[in-house]
């Protein structure tokens, strides 16, 4: 028997930035017998109200001006646990574009209303949604109580009662089993269901189960048929793309997910998959646009994350690195600079010091991409000095990028010092860095070998051999500050042991100190340079005294 939504004792919240629509909706609700209606002009006001009051029905416009839109408000309310089980959430919009409609439906609100709608239609939709939610309440209560077996039992109760929601509960039970990785049980329910009802949602769930069981060849025709029959069911594209990807055909997977994005780009998960497949297939421009879309879609939402900004920066660098036209490359790199214009206003979710370090890293990457390694190193060391001295403080989202750029700038010793504290927390970030780096491990390995042999030779007093190893190391990494200071130390030891002037060696050491004068060094290296320079000056003073005594 239908359960009615009794307006007289219900509290309703209208969230819309248009005053005229607020009044129109309130009039309809008053005609239904509603007594308590509240307003919010934007998502922030709605969140504030929901933190202090509970509502039975939310009527939320999709477009709310600046800030969160209606879909993002729905996510924020669920994430903050501000939507009680019995609360109805309706998304309302006058925008009938395909992308907006599909993205709203995928969020699974209790209902979705297109403007304009009549008073009668609103009433019927509210009653229908309330009846469904009330009937299924025991299931959702069991889920909230984290009682899985009770949840399955409640599904079975509704299925056995021949309720109008019997089919819904059969599919819902299958989905619950999938989430618990009980794939065989889920597949059995779905196959039996499909024999009686060729239901598209059931076929989609079956395709998903087959994929999760790694039965890609069985899943592909199921999902392909769904797309042919119902091209607007976008989840089917994502699972089909996963099948091709994990089956070893990333090119085909990319084509599939691009078709889904053409229907609606408003999906973070879809854009993430697009970005990953684009990187796998070296489709760099597509990857860059996907990362930009992720950055924009997550801005000011619960999904906001500095990693999205970092990934977009890396994507621009990758595209610029592979762009032969110098003008286009310059324009691409300007996009990075634009991300830091009024940086704290654009990215208020990032700590100010961390944002400054990220900006320095980004600008250093630009200088490196333009071929100016010295300027890149100066910028990086200046902006990330604290992290280089104490790598344990490096943010997770910056660590892999920082180590990678240190290697690119031939600062291998700093990179090695940072590596123990670095973890790849983003698949996208790791793929981006691998694409940027290419095959550069050989030169780093050779440098490390020469540097280690030089240190070993120096400690055993084989100064000529040590000098040769450090010079070989610097031939591979001319700007490496650690190896440069090692060479100076060997040269000073050689001068001291010879106990006679060696003008060529003296000039070489002096030239190195001049080159290092304005060069950024971490505090430990700076102190070492000062000590070596003091020793050099003492040796020169001693040589002059010896020379004057001979005269």
- Give Cβ neighbours of residue 295 (< 8 Å, ≥ 6 apart): 308, 309, 311, 312
Give the pLDDT band of residue 103 (cuts 50, 70, 90): very low
Give the range among 56-65, 168-177, 205-214, 445-454 with minimum mean pLDDT: 445-454
What tens digit of pLDDT does each residue of 265-300 get?
888 999 999 999 999 999 999 999 999 999 999 988
In a domain, 264, yes or no: no
Total domain count, the chain: 4
Residues 131 and 159 in one domain: no
The CATH number assigned to the domain holding 248 equals 1.25.40.10
What tens digit of pLDDT does each residue of 368-388 get?
888 888 889 989 998 999 999
* pLDDT of 49 strictly over 70: yes
Residues 190 and 157 in one domain: yes
Residues 414 and 309 in one domain: yes
Residues 485 and 372 in one domain: no
Answer for the pair 332, 316: CB distance below 8 angstroms, yes or no. yes
Residues 52 and 135 in one domain: yes
pLDDT above 90 covers a percentage of the chain that reads: 45
**What is residue 440's predicted lDDT score, i.e. its pLDDT?**
53
**What is residue 228's predicted lDDT score, i.e. its pLDDT?**
93
Which of residues 384, 417, 438 is at a domain's end?
438
In a domain, 261, yes or no: no
Cα separations (Å) of 126 from 21, 110, 138, 319, 484?
A: 18, 9, 20, 50, 75
**What is residue 99's predicted lDDT score, i.e. its pLDDT?**
47
Answer for the pair 104, 93: CB distance below 8 angstroms, yes or no. yes
Query: What one-character-per-residue DSSP string does 432-489 give?
Result: HHHHHH-S-HHHHHHHHHHHHHHHHHHHTT-HHHHHHHHHHHHHH-TT-HHHHHHHHH
Residues 225 and 240 in one domain: yes
Mean per-residue pLDDT over the chain, rounded: 87
Mean pLDDT of 432-451: 72
What tens digit of pLDDT does each residue of 372-430 get?
888 899 899 989 999 998 999 999 899 989 998 998 888 888 888 888 888 777 777 77
**What is residue 1's predicted lDDT score, i.e. its pLDDT?**
60
Which of residues 438, 464, 485 is at a domain's end?
438
In a domain, 21, yes or no: yes
**Mean pLDDT highest for which of 18-27, 65-74, 525-534?**
18-27
**What is residue 448's predicted lDDT score, i.e. its pLDDT?**
81
Which of residues 144, 169, 196 is at a domain's end?
144
Give the pLDDT band of residue 34 (cuts 50, 70, 90): very high
Residues 89 and 209 in one domain: no
Mean pLDDT of 423-451: 73
How far the first Cα of the chain sits from its last, in Å, is 119
Closest C-alpha to 190, from 170, 217, 162: 170
In a domain, 265, yes or no: no
In a domain, 357, yes or no: yes
Residues 285 and 248 in one domain: no
**What is residue 357's predicted lDDT score, i.e. its pLDDT?**
93
Residues 8 and 126 in one domain: yes
Query: What is the domain range of residue 531?
Result: 449-550
Residues 399 and 503 in one domain: no
Residues 69 and 198 in one domain: no
In a domain, 290, yes or no: yes
Mean pLDDT of 195-199: 85
Residues 79 and 166 in one domain: no
The CATH number assigned to the domain holding 534 equals 1.25.40
In a domain, 368, yes or no: yes
What tens digit of pLDDT does each residue of 231-250 get?
988 899 999 999 999 998 99
What tens digit of pLDDT does each residue of 81-101 get?
898 888 999 999 876 554 444
The CATH number assigned to the domain holding 66 equals 3.40.50.2300
Q: pTM above 0.85?
A: no
**What is residue 58's predicted lDDT score, i.e. its pLDDT?**
96
**What is residue 500's predicted lDDT score, i.e. its pLDDT?**
57
* pLDDT of 105 strictly over 50: no
Q: Copy the structure tokens of residue 497.
A: 């042991």
**What is residue 549's predicted lDDT score, i.e. its pLDDT?**
61
Q: DSSP character for 57?
A: E
In a domain, 267, yes or no: no
Mean pLDDT of 92-120: 70
């Amino acid at each position: 028997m239908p359960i009615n939504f009794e307006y007289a004792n219900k509290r309703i919240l209208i969230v819309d930035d248009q005053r005229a629509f607020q009044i129109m909706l309130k009039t309809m609700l008053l005609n239904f017998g509603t007594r308590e209606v509240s307003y919010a002009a934007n998502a922030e006001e709605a969140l504030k109200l929901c933190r202090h009051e509970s509502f039975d029905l939310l009527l939320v416009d999709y477009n709310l001006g600046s800030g969160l839109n209606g879909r993002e408000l729905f996510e924020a309310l669920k994430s903050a646990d501000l939507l009680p089980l019995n609360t109805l959430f309706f998304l309302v919009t006058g925008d009938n574009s395909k992308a907006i409609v599909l993205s709203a439906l995928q969020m699974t609100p209790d209902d979705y209303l297109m403007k304009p709608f009549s008073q009668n239609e609103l009433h019927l939709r509210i009653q229908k949604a309330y009846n469904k939610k009330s009937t299924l309440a025991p299931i959702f209560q069991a889920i909230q109580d984290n009682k899985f077996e009770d949840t399955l039992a409640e599904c079975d109760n509704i299925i056995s009662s021949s309720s109008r929601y019997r089919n819904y509960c059969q599919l819902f039970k299958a989905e619950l089993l999938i989430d618990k990785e009980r794939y065989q049980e889920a597949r059995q329910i779905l196959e039996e269901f499909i024999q009686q009802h060729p239901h598209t949602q059931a076929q989609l769930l079956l395709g998903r189960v087959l994929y999760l069981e790694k039965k890609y060849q069985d899943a592909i025709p199921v999902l392909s048929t769904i797309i042919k029959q119902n091209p607007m069911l976008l989840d089917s594209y994502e699972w089909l793309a996963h099948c091709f990807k994990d089956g070893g055909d990333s090119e085909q997977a990319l084509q599939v997910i691009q078709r889904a994005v053409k229907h609606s780009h408003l999906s973070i998960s879809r854009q993430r998959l697009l970005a990953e497949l684009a990187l796998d297939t070296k489709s760099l421009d597509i990857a860059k646009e996907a990362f930009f879309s992720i950055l924009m879609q997550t801005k000011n939402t619960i999904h906001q994350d500095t990693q999205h900004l970092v990934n977009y920066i890396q994507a621009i660098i990758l595209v610029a690195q592979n762009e032969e036209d110098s003008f286009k490359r310059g324009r691409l790199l300007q996009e990075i600079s634009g991300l830091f214009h009024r940086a704290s206003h654009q990215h208020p979710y990032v700590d100010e010091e961390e944002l400054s370090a990220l900006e320095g890293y980004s600008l250093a990457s630009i200088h490196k991409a333009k071929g100016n390694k010295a300027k890149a190193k100066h910028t990086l060391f200046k902006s990330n000095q604290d992290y280089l001295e104490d790598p344990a403080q490096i943010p997770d989202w910056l660590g892999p990028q920082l180590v990678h750029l240190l290697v690119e700038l031939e600062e291998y010793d700093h990179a090695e010092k940072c590596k123990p504290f670095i973890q790849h927390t983003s698949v996208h970030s790791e793929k981006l860095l691998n694409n940027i780096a290419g095959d550069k491990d050989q030169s780093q390995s050779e440098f490390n070998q020469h540097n280690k042999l030089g240190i070993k030779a120096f400690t055993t007093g084989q100064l000529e051999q040590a000098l040769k190893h450090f010079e070989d190391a610097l031939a591979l990494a001319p700007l490496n500050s650690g190896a440069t200071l090692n060479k100076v130390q060997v040269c000073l030891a050689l001068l001291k042991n010879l106990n006679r002037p060696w003008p060529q060696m003296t000039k070489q050491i002096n030239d190195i100190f001049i080159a290092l004068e304005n060069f950024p060094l971490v505090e430990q290296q700076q102190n070492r340079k000062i000590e070596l320079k003091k020793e050099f000056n003492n040796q020169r003073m001693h040589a002059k005294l010896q020379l004057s005594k001979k005269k």
